[in-house]
Amino acid sequence: MRLRYDSLFIGGEWAEPHGTGRIVVRSPNSEDEIGDVPEAVEADADDAVAAARRAFEDPSGWAAWPPEARAEAMERLADALDTRAEDMAARVSGQNGMPIAIARQIEAGMPALVLRYYADLIRRTPTQETRTGLLGGSALVRREPIGVVAAIVPWNYPQTLASFKIAPALAAGCAMVIKPSPETVLDAYLLAQAVIHAQLPPGVVNIVTGGRELGAHLVAHPGVDKVAFTGSTAAGRSIAETCGRLLRPVTLELGGKSAAIVLDDADLDGHLRELFGACLLNNGQTCYLGTRVLAPRSRYDQVVDTVTELARALRVGDSLDPETQIGPMVSARQRDRVESYIAKGRSDGARLTAGGGRPAGRDRGWFVEPTVFADVDNRATIAQEEIFGPVLAITPYADVDEAVAIANDSDYGLGGSVWTSDPDRGVAVAARVRTGTIGVNGYLPEPVAPFGGVKDSGIGRELGPEGLTAYQQLKSVYLAG
């Protein structure tokens, strides 16, 4: 079924767009058109920011609501998303190629979970405290909402990554303008419907659909108080420059090239599901994946065999088929990019052990075979640059010190994993890796814990109580004694 929308969601209503441009979405499975929506122009973004400002500055509005009332509204939004879960999973999977089984778990489940988590948190988290002073008086320390938020999200987990911003922003009392990626706009309309259903005050959540120019306009907009961005490191740098000039708070969740460190006592065969989740989830289109597998020389051939077999056994197919484990790349451009890295791996002399081409029998759709390269030098391009596809590079190491050194020899620092039969040993190695997050015998971002990167992987954290503070501004009120 082809979906068509003619309005934008601004100020709690379906607004007529100022321009006439359209964003057309194609199925990565068939390359056929599956929907189209208006392409917002700057005047639409201006309207959205104005609506958010009105909502935020309303003296009896969202920001002034008691935390309990905001929490209840957030729970209504979570319920409204739950009732749309299957449609949401299908829309995301149909647009970006995420296997539907994964979309059902993550894209259809995570946003409601995160909304309920922050609803609960804001109920329990005092927004002010009194501190006894040292100079005779006292100080009231208040956590106030930071204001109007511009939230810019990528296509790989459009709903989940939006919810990492929406939930803490709403909990804090902020109003927001969300800009989804042009590749995934159809799911954004379901979110808008859920916002209406949940009866959030008009203007608290606005959605404008457009590309990078619209994003840049929002980032620099004088009516915006904070920017929350997830996307590529290149775009993040440009956004950080703008925010630096404007002294505008910004959180940046950017790219990664994480290491999966297999220790000599690892039971990889007992953790194949976790290994898939940590290294290949969502067709390799996941920012934190451990796409550099570091294997001890003492068990090198065995690790190469296990990873190679895992990749070869994966079911590649239509993303909407519940049996599919690896779907297509989001776009022809992304498929070409992945293929160019595979060609680079070959020409640099890495040993191809799985995949390397397009799956047989698929002349439509942007598919790439799960691919494994062994004997990869960590300085090689395929070990240093983010490929964002189902391509793994295996590098041998002599001892744990060398494994840690290789893991840290990267411009990025977002995720990672350590595989071992001894969890304490795993944690000790994890502590030595320069990264924002890391797993032991698996990797699953946990909503209660801060998520984010170091080095070129970004600035700031989402999720956990720390993710709430990014949407709050501290104010000290000095009370004379």
Residues noted as catalytic? 253
Binding flag, residue 230, ligand NAD (CB under 6 A): yes
Query: What six digits make up the tokens of 364?
Result: 């439509």
Binding flag, residue 331, ligand NAD (CB under 6 A): no
Binding flag, residue 388, ligand NAD (CB under 6 A): yes
The bridge status of strand 148-152 relative to strand 3-4 is unpaired
Give the footprint of ligand NAD on residues 104-133 (CB under 6 A).
none
Smallest distance from ligand NAD to CB 117, Å: 17
Among 50, 80, 119, 414, binds ligand NAD (CB under 6 A): 414
Binding flag, residue 179, ligand NAD (CB under 6 A): yes
Binding flag, residue 239, ligand NAD (CB under 6 A): yes
- C-beta separation of 118 from 171 below 8 A: yes
Please give the Cα distance from 426 to 437 (Å, whole number): 13
Residue 27 DSSP class: -
Please give the Cα distance from 448 to 443 (Å, whole number): 14
Binding flag, residue 152, ligand NAD (CB under 6 A): yes
Binding flag, residue 168, ligand NAD (CB under 6 A): no
Among 216, 246, 272, 332, binds ligand NAD (CB under 6 A): 216
Q: Which element (helix H / strand E) includes 371?
A: strand 371-374
Binding flag, residue 386, ligand NAD (CB under 6 A): yes
Smallest distance from ligand NAD to CB 172, Å: 20
Q: Which element (helix H / strand E) includes 433?
A: none
Smallest distance from ligand NAD to CB 330, Å: 8
Q: Which element (helix H / strand E) includes 74?
A: helix 67-83
- C-beta separation of 413 from 257 below 8 A: no
- Percent helix, percent strand, percent coil in the chain, to nearest 5: 40, 20, 40
Binding flag, residue 161, ligand NAD (CB under 6 A): yes
Q: Which element (helix H / strand E) includes 163?
A: helix 158-172
For ligand NAD (CB under 6 A), the number of binding residues is 29
Q: Which element (helix H / strand E) includes 416?
A: none
Give the footprint of ligand NAD on residues 429-458 (CB under 6 A).
453, 458
Give the footprint of ligand NAD on residues 286-305 (CB under 6 A).
287
Binding flag, residue 254, ligand NAD (CB under 6 A): yes
Cα distances (Å, whole numbers) of residue 176 to 229, 375, 417, 419:
13, 47, 34, 40
Instruction: Give the residue among 312, 297, 273, 302 at the shortest CA–CA distance from 397.
Output: 297
Closer CB to ligand NAD, residue 109 or residue 452? 452
Q: What is the contact surface with ligand NAD in residues (CB under 6 A)?
A: 152-156, 161, 179, 181, 211-212, 215-216, 219, 230-232, 235, 238-239, 253-256, 287, 386, 388, 414, 453, 458
